[in-house]
């Protein structure tokens, strides 16, 4: 057992937090560097540990994360205590059977995630079905394609023959003669599609007009110009600087701190950087020459990023303008548009395709040049005047058929014609359909695999096994720990709350309550502490590893009953494990030391102290924890010798400062002699029991001279502890007098022990 004692603020919690990061404990907290030292932010420490007989010396860096050989070290502190009291907790140890299930659950979860990612990456190969075909049989078949669709079915549905083409023309002719109303409707549909095509072309031409292209050129030029200005400014700012890293985040923070200092303290109500006449650098506080002032203004311009913001704004404006322009359809879509407008002659189709091609190329070159003369010219629209002519002719025909319409509409022929159109469209989608069905078949296999990788059966099985293998054993250990710690009378219980993806969660709850209340709302602070300690020990004691325990002030808020029970438990743990206890309570250190000595447990006490802004400095064992003889020898041989040198080298004034501490420690040591030597440790401060076994029979050896010696020096050195009268001050004894008194006391100890 190692007992590490230090008053508040000496670094105990810092060591605990460091160990939590090294060992991978829960609620590690933030690991700060020395916040008072800005010269070096590297977080490293040298770690010495031993596994069996093998010693290791590791230089650990906070960036390294958990140190694997020490991941089984168990750490208990205030955050851990709150976790066990207020939250659900997963049992940290699993029997090997459950560990296998846990690993399988992790693997299945990974497999499911990978399958989902692959499914999400699958893109459809299908073109969107035209709206008018949605209610046709072939349209319904097209939109219900699945992994079950067979190649035979695809071949049948996508077949288009000369007979079907002839049937389509025949129906059109019959409808033309027998159903003028339908003919008018069909012609109107063709008219609308032609008009839409014409409007699309006109809109694109207008967007690519000379004036609109000039606007795009202007925006493009502005964006390029501002981007170059931003890049040139950045290059100018940092070129040929004597120091690297001026544009780093660290440098930017330094600049902002300089701004804050300038505006708040140095040059209030002055714009930063202040570079007027007689201005000083806010960092080095030296006068600024012209070059320095120019550099300051350049830095500020770069930091504010006006040029960069202007460049981004210009680029965004250009991008929005381009995005607002009408998208020029691809060749496949153009063909569909011409098909829907019944433009069937190859010559006419070629002219329209050429118009779209020229418009597309003009738009493509729009961002690559700054001169309108270098753009692809607008097409000659006389070549597609036939569209206007067709529209005009269709208007006349529509008016004619609407005028002569009669009730000869054959609904069946219309439906068949629509089916034929849909069949024709589908026949051109065969390759995409085959790709889509292949993809759907692959996705179905992935879904089957995903279903087979379900974690639910594993979680259910683990939950069933954990009830026996974890929960019952965990609850049993918890009850035993409560009994060990003297808290078995508390009306609390540890119960399993749920299983989450194979994780077995437990919670401490009150039992037999008339109203719903949490543990922390009812138990006192001390009771919460002892209950959390019992839960912690019950949890980690279930692990097979014989790992060390680290406790940071384990008895905080505990009364003497719980304190003694906790000490007994820690001593018992130290028989099988390494136990490290951090504490600022002298009573705990005394109890641990006393109990360790009684149980013959190997132990040592380490002191921590603060030196200036540095904490966690290891020092000598506290005086109260030393054997009186050793403490006296240290006072006489080390501290008194140091006082003599100070007296000889610096004089009495400096000596008085050291002598005051020596007399105070000598006074405390005399009290310890009464406890440890005169009364044989029968009665001891911070210890509840009176230890008489093998000792009380030695009390008659005490003589009046023993009492006189101790009383004399207790009285003499007590006066140095109290304030003195101004008229009759008491000066501190010189080294020779102190040495003489210490020799007398030392001789008395040796003589008394020989009796």
pLDDT tens track for 488-518: 888 888 777 776 665 667 788 887 777 888 8
Radius of gyration of the chain from Cα atoms? Answer: 46
pLDDT of residue 231: 66
Nearest to 127 by CA among 327, 333, 326, 329: 333
Other beta carbons less than 10 A from residue 582's beta carbon: 25
Helices (H), ranges, 78-161: 78-86, 96-120, 137-143, 151-157
Q: Are residues 188 and 401 in contact, defined by beta-carbon separation less than 8 angstroms?
A: no
Query: What is the C-alpha separation between 731 and 308, in angstroms, rounded?
Result: 75
Nearest to 111 by CA among 452, 501, 461: 452
Task: Identify each DSSP E strand in 312-363 by its residue range.
Answer: none
Q: CA separation (Å) from 65 to 31, 51, 68, 75?
A: 11, 20, 9, 16
pLDDT of residue 153: 92
Q: What would the mean pLDDT of 577-595 be, rounded to a whole number?
A: 84
pLDDT of residue 404: 44
Q: What would the mean pLDDT of 446-454 be, rounded to a whole number?
A: 91
Angle at the Cα of 323 (from 322 to 329), degrees rounded to 5? 100
pLDDT of residue 686: 62
SS3 category, 287:
strand
Query: What is the C-alpha separation between 305 and 316, in angstroms, rounded?
Result: 16
Query: What is the C-alpha separation between 280 and 267, in angstroms, rounded?
Result: 10
Q: Would you call 368 exposed, middle or buried from its count of C-beta atoms within 10 A (0-12, 13-18, 19+)? A: exposed
Residues 6+ apart with CB under 8 A from 496: 466, 467, 471, 504, 505, 506
Reported residue count of the chain is: 755
Query: What is the C-alpha separation between 267 and 128, in angstroms, rounded?
Result: 67
303 vs 82, higher pLDDT: 82
SS3 category, 89:
strand
Q: Are residues 453 and 106 in contact, defined by beta-carbon separation less than 8 angstroms?
A: no
Q: Are residues 59 and 46 in contact, defined by beta-carbon separation less than 8 angstroms?
A: yes
Crossing angle between the packed helical segments 430-452 and 96-120, to the nearest 10 degrees:
170
Residue 371 has pLDDT above 50, yes or no: yes
Q: Are residues 485 and 445 in contact, defined by beta-carbon separation less than 8 angstroms?
A: no
Confidence of residue 46 (pLDDT cuts 50, 70, 90): very high
* DSSP label of 452: H
Please give the structure tokens belonging to residue 653. 């004034």
Half-sphere exposure of 471 (CA within 13 A, CB side): 20
pLDDT of residue 405: 60
Query: What is the C-alpha separation between 137 and 129, in angstroms, rounded?
Result: 13
Residue 167 has pLDDT above 80, yes or no: no
Nearest to 200 by CA among 333, 361, 395: 333
Other beta carbons less than 10 A from residue 355's beta carbon: 21
Query: What is the C-alpha separation between 42 and 62, in angstroms, rounded?
Result: 8
Q: What would the mean pLDDT of 187-198 be, rounded to a whole number?
A: 87
Q: What would the mean pLDDT of 214-239 be, rounded to a whole number?
A: 74
Report the range out of 235-244, 367-376, 388-397, 438-447 with the highest average pLDDT: 438-447
Residue 381 has pLDDT above 90, yes or no: no
Other beta carbons less than 10 A from residue 101's beta carbon: 19
Least confident of 108-117, 352-361, 613-622, 656-665: 613-622
SS3 category, 293:
helix
pTM of the model: 0.48
Q: What would the mean pLDDT of 708-719 be, rounded to a whole number?
A: 85
Q: How far apart are the first and last CA of the chain?
A: 34
Residues 6+ apart with CB under 8 A from 676: 627, 628, 684
Query: What is the C-alpha separation between 302 and 296, in angstroms, rounded?
Result: 10
Angle at the Cα of 316 (from 315 to 318), degrees rounded to 5? 65
* DSSP bridge pairs for 607: 5, 619
* DSSP label of 280: B
Please give the structure tokens belonging to residue 509. 């709850």
Residue 715 has pLDDT above 60, yes or no: yes
Positive or negative, the CA dihedral 718, 722, 725, 726 is positive
Residues 6+ apart with CB under 8 A from 384: 201, 351, 352, 355
DSSP state string for 160-224: --HHHHHHHHHHHHHHHHH-HHHHHHHHHHHHHHHHHHHHHHHHHHHHTSHHHHHHHHHHHHHHH
Residue 400 has pLDDT above 60, yes or no: no
- Judge if the upstream peptide bond of residue 755 is cis by omega within 30 degrees of 0: no
For 444, list phi and psi in degrees, rounded to 5.
-65, -40
pLDDT of residue 469: 66
Q: What would the mean pLDDT of 427-439 be, rounded to a whole number?
A: 91
Residue % of the chain over a pLDDT of 70: 85
- As a dihedral over the C-alpha atoms of residue 409, residue 415, residue 416, residue 419, rounded to 10 degrees, the angle is 150
687 vs 450, higher pLDDT: 450
- The model's pLDDT over 100-152, given as tens digits with 9 standing for 90+, comes to 888 898 899 999 999 998 888 888 888 999 999 988 989 999 899 999 999 99
Angle at the Cα of 607 (from 603 to 608), degrees rounded to 5? 135
Residues 6+ apart with CB under 8 A from 292: 281
pLDDT of residue 59: 92
Q: Are residues 733 and 659 in contact, defined by beta-carbon separation less than 8 angstroms?
A: yes
Q: Would you call 148 exposed, middle or buried from its count of C-beta atoms within 10 A (0-12, 13-18, 19+)? A: exposed
- The model's pLDDT over 75-112, given as tens digits with 9 standing for 90+, comes to 888 888 788 777 777 666 566 677 788 889 889 999 99
Q: Would you call 589 exposed, middle or buried from its count of C-beta atoms within 10 A (0-12, 13-18, 19+)? A: buried
- The model's pLDDT over 307-332, given as tens digits with 9 standing for 90+, comes to 667 777 877 887 888 888 888 888 88
Residue 684 has pLDDT above 60, yes or no: yes
* DSSP bridge pairs for 175: none
Q: What would the mean pLDDT of 453-472 be, rounded to a whole number?
A: 78
- The model's pLDDT over 559-574, given as tens digits with 9 standing for 90+, comes to 667 778 888 888 988 8
Query: What is the C-alpha separation between 88 and 495, in angstroms, rounded?
Result: 10
pLDDT of residue 687: 63
Confidence of residue 333 (pLDDT cuts 50, 70, 90): confident
pLDDT of residue 148: 92
Confidence of residue 19 (pLDDT cuts 50, 70, 90): very high
Residue 406 has pLDDT above 60, yes or no: no
DSSP state string for 140-151: HHHHT--TT--H
Residue 698 has pLDDT above 60, yes or no: yes
Per the prediction, the chain carries an average pLDDT of 81
Q: CA separation (Å) from 699 to 169, 594, 677, 679, 693?
A: 131, 20, 10, 7, 12
pLDDT of residue 407: 44
Q: What would the mean pLDDT of 241-258 be, rounded to a whole number?
A: 72
Residue % of the chain over a pLDDT of 90: 10
Q: CA separation (Å) from 43 to 18, 34, 248, 674, 747?
A: 10, 9, 20, 47, 51
Query: What is the C-alpha separation between 674 and 713, in angstroms, rounded?
Result: 12
Confidence of residue 248 (pLDDT cuts 50, 70, 90): low
For 89, list phi and psi in degrees, rounded to 5.
-135, 140
Q: Would you call 583 exposed, middle or buried from its count of C-beta atoms within 10 A (0-12, 13-18, 19+)? A: buried
């Amino acid at each position: 057992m190692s007992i590490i004692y230090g008053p508040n603020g000496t670094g105990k919690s810092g060591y605990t937090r460091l160990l939590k990061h090294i060992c991978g404990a829960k609620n590690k907290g933030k690991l700060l560097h020395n916040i008072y030292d800005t010269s070096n932010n590297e977080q490293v420490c040298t770690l010495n540990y031993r596994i069996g007989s093998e010693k290791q010396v590791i230089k650990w860096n906070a960036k390294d994360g958990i140190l694997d050989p020490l991941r089984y070290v168990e750490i208990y502190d205030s955050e851990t205590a709150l976790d066990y009291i207020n939250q659900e907790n997963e049992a940290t140890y699993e029997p090997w059977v459950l560990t296998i299930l846990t690993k399988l659950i992790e693997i299945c979860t990974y497999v499911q995630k990978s399958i989902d990612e692959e499914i999400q990456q699958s893109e459809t190969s299908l073109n969107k079905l035209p709206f008018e075909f949605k209610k046709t049989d072939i349209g319904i078949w097209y939109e219900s394609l699945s992994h079950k669709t067979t190649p035979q079915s695809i071949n049948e549905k996508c077949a288009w023959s000369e007979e079907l083409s002839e049937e389509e023309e025949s129906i059109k002719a019959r409808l033309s003669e027998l159903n003028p109303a339908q003919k008018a409707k069909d012609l109107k549909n063709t008219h609308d599609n032609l008009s839409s095509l014409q409007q699309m072309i006109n809109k694109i031409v207008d967007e690519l007009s000379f004036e609109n292209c000039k606007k795009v050129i202007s925006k493009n030029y502005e964006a390029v110009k501002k981007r170059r200005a931003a890049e040139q400014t950045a290059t100018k700012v940092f070129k040929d600087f004597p120091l690297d890293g001026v544009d780093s985040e660290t440098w930017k923070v330094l600049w902002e701190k300089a701004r804050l200092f300038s505006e708040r303290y140095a040059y209030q109500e002055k714009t930063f950087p202040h570079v007027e006449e007689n201005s000083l650098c806010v960092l080095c506080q030296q006068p600024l020459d012209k070059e320095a002032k120019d550099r300051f203004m350049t830095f500020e311009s770069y930091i504010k990023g006006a040029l960069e913001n202007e460049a981004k704004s210009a680029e965004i404006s250009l991008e929005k303008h381009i995005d607002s322009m009408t998208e020029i359809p691809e060749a496949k879509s153009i063909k569909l548009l011409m098909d829907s407008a019944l433009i069937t002659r190859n010559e006419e189709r070629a002219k329209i395709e050429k118009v779209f091609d020229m418009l597309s190329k003009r738009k493509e070159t729009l961002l690559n040049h700054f001169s309108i003369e270098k753009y692809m010219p607008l097409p000659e629209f006389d070549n597609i005047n036939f569209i206007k002519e067709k529209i005009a002719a269709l208007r006349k025909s529509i008016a004619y058929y609407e005028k002569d319409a009669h009730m000869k509409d054959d609904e069946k022929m219309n439906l068949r014609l629509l089916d034929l159109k849909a069949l024709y469209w589908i026949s051109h989608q065969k390759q995409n359909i085959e790709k889509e069905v292949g993809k759907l078949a692959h996705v179905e296999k992935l879904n089957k695999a995903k279903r087979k990788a379900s974690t639910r059966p594993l979680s259910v099985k683990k939950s069933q096994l954990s009830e026996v293998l974890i929960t019952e054993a965990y609850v049993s250990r918890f009850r035993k720990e409560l009994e060990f710690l003297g808290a078995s009378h508390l009306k609390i219980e540890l119960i399993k709350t749920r299983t989450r993806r194979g994780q077995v969660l437990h919670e401490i709850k009150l039992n037999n309550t008339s109203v719903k209340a949490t543990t922390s709302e009812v138990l006192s602070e001390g009771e919460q502490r002892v209950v959390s300690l019992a839960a912690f020990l019950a949890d980690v004691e279930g692990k097979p590893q014989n790992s060390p325990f680290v406790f940071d002030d384990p008895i905080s808020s505990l009364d003497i009953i719980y304190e003694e029970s906790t000490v007994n438990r820690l001593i018992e743990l130290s028989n099988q494990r390494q136990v490290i206890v951090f504490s600022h309570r002298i009573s705990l250190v005394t109890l641990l030391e006393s109990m360790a000595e009684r149980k013959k447990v190997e132990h040592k006490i380490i002191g921590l102290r603060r030196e200036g802004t540095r904490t966690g400095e290891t020092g000598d064992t506290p005086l109260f924890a030393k054997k009186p003889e050793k403490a006296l020898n240290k006072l006489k041989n080390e501290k008194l010798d140091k006082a003599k040198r100070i007296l000889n080298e610096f004089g009495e004034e400096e000596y008085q400062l050291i002598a005051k501490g020596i007399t105070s420690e000598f006074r405390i040591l005399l009290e310890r002699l009464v406890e440890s030597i005169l009364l044989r440790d029968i009665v001891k401060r911070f210890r509840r029991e009176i230890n008489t076994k093998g000792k009380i029979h030695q009390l008659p050896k005490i003589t009046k001279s023993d009492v006189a010696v101790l009383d004399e020096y207790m009285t003499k050195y007590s006066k140095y502890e109290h304030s003195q009268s101004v008229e009759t001050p008491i000066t501190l004894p010189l080294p020779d007098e102190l040495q003489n008194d210490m020799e007398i006391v030392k001789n008395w100890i040796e003589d008394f022990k020989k009796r």
